[in-house]
Structure 1
Amino acid sequence: MTDYATDFSPGEMIVTAGARQLENNKVIFAGTGLPMVGITLAQLTSGPGIIPVFEAGAVGPTLDRGLPLSVGDSRTTSRANYIQGLNSAFELTQRGFIDIGFIGGAEVDPYGNLNSTMIGDFPQNYMKPVVRLPGSGGAGDMSCSCTYTILIVQHEPRRFVEKLQYCTSMGHMDGSKDARKKAGLQGKGPKRVITTKALMGFDDETKRMKILATMPGETVQSVQDATGFELMVDKDVYEFAPPTQTEIKLIREVIDPTQIFCKR
Structure 2
Amino acid sequence: MTATAEPLPFTADEVMTVAASRALADGTACFVGIGLPSTAANLARRTHAPGLWMIYESGTLGASPDALPLSIGDGELAETADTVVPVTEVFNYWLQAGRIDTGFLGAAQIDRFGNINTTVIGDYAAPKVRLPGAGGAPEIAASCGRVIVIVRQSRRTFVERVDFTTSFGHGSGPGDRERLGLRGAGPVQVITDLGVLEPDPRTRELVLTRLHPGATAEQAREATGWDLAVSPDLAATPEPDPDELAVLRSLTGRG
TM range (shorter): over 0.9
Work out which of the residue numbers 217, 222, 231 in structure 1 matches 2:228.
Answer: 231
**2:249 equivalent to 1:256:** no
Work out which of the residue numbers 102, 108, 111 in structure 1 matches 2:110.
Answer: 108
- The more displaced of 138-147 and 9-18 is 9-18
**TM-superposed deviation, 1:33:** 0.6
Residue-by-residue CA offset, 1:213-262 (whole Å, 9 max, x unaligned): 11111111211111111222222211112222222211222x12179xxx
| Structure 2, unpaired ranges of 5+ | 1-6
- State the TM-score, normalized to the length of structure 2: 0.93
Cα distance in 1 for residues equivalent to 2:142 and 2:9: 38
Cα distance in 1 for residues equivalent to 2:87 and 2:72: 10
What residue is the counterpart of 2:27 in the other structure? 25
* Aligned residue type for 2:136: G
Structure 1 contact 54–72 (Cα < 8 Å) conserved: no
**TM-superposed deviation, 1:198:** 0.8
Residue-by-residue CA offset, 1:112-150 (whole Å, 9 max, x unaligned): 00011111223x31xxx2222111111111001111100
Q: How does 1:1-264 map to 2 (within 5 A)?
A: 6-64=8-66, 66-91=67-92, 92-122=94-124, 124-125=125-126, 129-176=127-174, 178-253=175-250, 255-257=251-253
Q: Give the percent of matched residue pairs that are identical in Structure 1 and Structure 2.
A: 36
Figure out how many residues of one structure are paired with residues of the other and give that number.
248
Structure 1 contact 208–231 (Cα < 8 Å) conserved: no
Structure 1 contact 67–75 (Cα < 8 Å) conserved: no
Cα distance in 2 for residues equivalent to 1:203 and 1:74: 41
What residue is the counterpart of 1:262 in the other structure? none
Cα distance in 2 for residues equivalent to 1:133 and 1:9: 27
The 1:18–1:78 alpha-carbon spacing in structure 2 relative to 1, beyond 3 Å, is: farther
Q: CA RMSD in A?
A: 1.5
The 1:15–1:121 alpha-carbon spacing in structure 2 relative to 1, beyond 3 Å, is: same
Cα distance in 1 for residues equivalent to 2:17 and 2:191: 9
Cα distance in 2 for residues equivalent to 1:54 and 1:229: 33
| Structure 1, unpaired ranges of 5+ | 260-264
* Aligned residue type for 2:25: E
- The more displaced of 83-92 and 93-102 is 83-92
Residue-by-residue CA offset, 1:85-129 (whole Å, 9 max, x unaligned): 21111120101100010010110000100011111223x31xxx2
- The more displaced of 5-14 and 96-105 is 5-14
The 1:12–1:78 alpha-carbon spacing in structure 2 relative to 1, beyond 3 Å, is: farther
**TM-superposed deviation, 1:14:** 1.3
- State the TM-score, normalized to the length of structure 1: 0.90
**TM-superposed deviation, 1:68:** 0.5
* Aligned residue type for 1:32: I
* Aligned residue type for 1:257: G
* Aligned residue type for 2:39: V
* Aligned residue type for 1:81: D
